[in-house]
């Protein structure tokens, strides 16, 4: 099985990048062969609103079944779920510590309800009641 960790640098002793959509690297640990791989998260435009989707597509190419990160945006979440990637939450820490915590059961798997979603108001919150001009929250 392959475990991907969002990382600020290329080494296993570097720090975890808490923002999935802006991570420069995915460090991928292969549990079968006990080896690390480094994959650059090639973003076409770092300011692009679809950076999370691009990151999810880049992660797909690594073959990882597990993602260890801090937070994931809503659009990226859809891609990750369609790929059946399990997501575990970790705070900013050395990537090797994040891996050890995952392997020993020390990280929490995030469900959709618990996942810290990045981004602004939901579409439901942006809808307006045309009759009264009031916001509808739902």
| CA–CA separation, 135 and 138 (whole Å) | 10
Contacts of 117 (CB under 8 A, 6+ apart): 71, 72, 73, 74, 77
Domains in the chain, start-ordered, CATH in brackets? 2-126 (3.30.420.130)
pLDDT tens for the 138 residues of the chain, in order: 999 999 999 988 899 999 999 899 999 999 999 999 999 998 756 567 789 999 999 999 999 999 999 999 888 988 999 999 999 999 999 999 999 999 999 999 976 655 555 554 444 433 333 334 443 333
Q: How much is the pLDDT for 65?
A: 98
Q: What element of type H or E holds 36?
A: strand 35-40
């Amino acid at each position: 099985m392959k475990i991907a960790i969002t990382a600020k640098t290329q080494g296993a002793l570097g720090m975890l990048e808490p923002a999935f959509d802006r991570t420069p690297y995915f460090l991928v640990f292969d549990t079968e062969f006990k080896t690390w791989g480094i994959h650059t998260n090639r973003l076409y435009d770092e300011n692009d609103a679809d950076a999370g989707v691009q990151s999810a597509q880049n992660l797909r190419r690594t073959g990882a079944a597990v993602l260890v990160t801090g937070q994931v945006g809503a659009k990226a979440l859809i891609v990750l779920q369609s790929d059946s990637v399990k997501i575990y939450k970790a705070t900013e820490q050395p990537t090797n510590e994040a891996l050890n915590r995952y392997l020993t059961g020390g990280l929490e798997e995030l469900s959709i309800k618990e996942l810290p979603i990045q981004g602004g108001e939901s579409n439901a919150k942006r809808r307006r009641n045309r009759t009264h001009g009031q916001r509808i929250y739902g």
